[in-house]
Chains A and B, each alone.
Chain A
Amino acid sequence: MSERPAISPRLQVGAVAPNITLTKTTGERVTLAELLRQGRVLLVFLRHFG
Chain B
Amino acid sequence: MFCRSELARLAKLNSRIEAAGAQVVVVTMGRPEETERFCGERAPGLRCFCDPEATSYRAYGLARGNTDQLFGPAVWLKGAQAALGGKFDGLPIGRPVGDPFQMPGTFVIGEDGRVSFAYYSKHAGDYPDDAELLRAVGAISGSQTT
Contacts and interface: CB of A to CB of B under 8 A. Distances in A.
Given A11-B107, A13-B118, A20-B59, A42 B49 contact: no
Interface residues of B, number: 65
Interface string B43-79: 0000011110001111111110000000000000000
> Which 6 A-B pairs give the minimum distances between C-beta atoms?
A48-B98, A22-B49, A25-B36, A10-B61, A20-B56, A18-B59
Contacts of A1: none
B53 to A, nearest CB: 9
Given A18-B56, A48-B99, A49-B98, 11 more contacts: A10-B61, A12-B118, A14-B115, A20-B60, A40-B23, A42-B22, A42-B133, A44-B27, A46-B27, A50-B96, A50-B97
Contacts of A24: 32, 49-50
Nearest to B58: A7
B118 A11 contact: yes
Interface secondary structure of B, over-half rule: mixed
Nearest to A32: B109
Contacts, number: 173
Contact of B96 (A16, A40, A48): A48
A10 to B, nearest CB: 4
B82 interface: no
A50 B35 CA distance: 10
Given A8-B61, A13-B115, A17-B115, A46 B104 contact: yes
B87 interface: no
Contacts of B55: 5, 20
